[in-house]
Amino acid sequence: MRAIAKFLYGRRGFYLALLLLPPLLWLGTVYLGSLLALLMQSFYAIDEFTARIVPKLTLATYRQLVSHPANVDIILRTLGMAAAVTVMAAVVAFPIANYMARHASPRMKAVFYVGVMLPMWTSYLVKVYAWRLVLAKQGILFWFVDQLGLTPALDAALTTPVIGGPSLASSYLGMFIVFVYMWLPFMILPLTAALERVPQSLLQASADLGARPGQTFRNVVLPLALPGLAAGSVFTFSLTLGDYIIPSVVGAPGYFIGMMVYQQQGTVGNLPLAAAFSVVPIILIAIYLSLAKRLGAFDAL
């Protein structure tokens, strides 16, 4: 053992390669290999008569993906939801992150930190399920709204076209609430980190130069917080694009990309179409990442 260690200490390159080889082999073959397999499957197509996968490279599946208006609708719907969730998560996260980063006492900050971490790590499925209890027809939210005498307002929201539905648990509005809830901690944490790095002196300088608080916020704080917002938005955007549990548990009638992937490979048995559908979020996320990189998202991680 000692002899081996001595031998390796003198040969740093060899030592590094030896360390790196097992994990690299795993991620390289299992993960990258699977991604390649996914790409390959998406260039296969299904034989319409036998319903079997024909292992010959073709663009037929991608043609099917973009030529069906229903498929394009699914992509646009998912994209719209991801964008809306990202914006709302930023709006809700900002006061929390700002309080944590700049106002809270060390003790309070620890309380907030644990307070954000615990729900974030609480079982994902249990949280989705809990929201179904909250949003259900005779559920908790309904009861509170009724106690406050706001039932007409809720009814009005539910009869609004597109976002409405028979109840909150089966409407896009309800789904939107659950998505925002689920990814909120992923926005709060990088945003807090970015706000912590805003130098106090800049704010004092801004105030000294006669800026009103609103102006300081717009012209000093917001630009400096942008990397944090961008980093958080990568999570909210990417997680919404890929999720299929929330849309199927807190369901509105329309399909989402993730549900399509899950259903096509499962009940329908069209693995090529499922693969082609899952390439869509990869492309969208790649585009989003390159945009976020320009805003400095990776400096804030």
Structure token pair of residue 280: 């869509």
Cβ distance to other proteins smaller for residue 60 or 89: 89
Q: How many residues bind other proteins (CB under 8 A)?
A: 100
Beta-carbon contacts of residue 155 (< 8 Å; ≥ 6 apart):
none
Element (H, E) at 209: none
Taking CA atoms, 21 is separated from 6, 91, 163, 292, in Å, by 20, 44, 51, 32
**Binding residues for other proteins restricted to 220-279, rule: CB under 8 A:** 221, 234, 238-239, 241-245, 249, 258, 261-262, 265, 271, 274-275, 278
Rounded to the nearest angstrom, the gap between the alpha carbon of residue 222 and the centroid of all alpha carbons in its chain is: 22
Q: Select the residue interacting with other proteins from 57, 125, 153, 291 (CB under 8 A).
A: 125
- Residue placing its CB nearer to other proteins in the complex, 6 or 294: 6
Among 48, 69, 126, 290, binds other proteins (CB under 8 A): 126
Residues ≥6 apart with Cβ < 8 Å to 166: 137, 158
Give me the 88-117 binding string for other proteins, x by CB under 8 A, dash otherwise: ----xx-xx-xxx-xx--xx-xx-xxxxxx
Residue window 191-230: x/- pattern of binding to other proteins, with contact defined by CB under 8 A = ---------x--xx-xxx----x--xx---x---------
Contact letters for other proteins, residues 23-62 (x by CB under 8 A):
xx-xxx-xxxxxx-xx-xx---------------------
Distances (CA, A) of 186 to 18, 191, 196, 207, 228: 35, 9, 16, 31, 11
